[in-house]
Amino acid sequence: QALEYLYNNLNVDEVTPRSALESDNTGLTNLFINKKIAIYSNGSYDLSVIREGAPDISIGTATYPGIGEGIGITIVNGFNLYIPENSNNKDAAWKLVEFVGRPENSGRLTTTLPARKSAFELERYSDPLLGPFIEQMDSGKAGPTYTNWSQMQAEIYSQIQQVLLNNKDISTALNDMCTAVDALLVAD
């Protein structure tokens, strides 16, 4: 259903320009700022870029739609602090971990969303445009940890692109995708 929706947006309804397939996140943000696309998917970190690039633009944010009712699933990632087992400064390192982990610091020291929900109480997260991003966190899942995940992801994107460019039908692309990913899972 999702792939058919994307295909129709691009090839049937033509609400997405073909140039969107050639753009990375920065390129999509620029297309949005220049009013060449009406909607795109990115993170809360883009809000300041959009406001700076197009201060007069009227924008809104929303959660990812789910299939049926409710919010869709998103992959959440983050940054970590590690204390090496052989560290000579474990106590000092642990103090840093504790410092960064406090809600007020967790919220203040990031340019995205904090790891701690309690940090959302900070004033900087009261912007209504951040609300959907914060709400989306409740349906966030950790990214896959397969050794071959980057290869799987490349295969998935490649097959999606083949459909969107009219080089393959959806059924063939999904079958090819499953075959390739299954082989990578077996090899993992």
Q: Rounded to whole angstroms, how far apart are CA atoms 85 and 95? A: 16
pTM assigned to the model: 0.78
The residue among 129, 107, 130, 131 whose CA lies nearest residue 117 is 107
- Give percent helix, percent strand, percent coil of the chain, each to the nearest 5: 55, 5, 40
Q: Rounded to whole angstroms, how far apart are CA atoms 38 and 50? A: 13
pLDDT of residue 19: 74
The three-class DSSP label of residue 71 is: strand
Per-residue pLDDT of the chain (188 residues; tens, 9 = 90+): 889 988 998 899 988 777 777 777 788 899 899 998 888 888 899 999 999 999 999 999 999 988 888 899 988 887 788 899 999 999 999 999 999 999 889 889 988 888 888 999 999 999 999 999 999 999 989 888 899 999 999 999 999 999 999 999 999 999 999 999 999 999 87
pLDDT of residue 179: 97
Per-domain residue ranges of the chain: 78-127, 145-188
The residue among 18, 8, 19 whose CA lies nearest residue 30 is 19
pLDDT of residue 24: 79
- Dihedral sign of CA atoms 147, 148, 152, 154 in order: positive
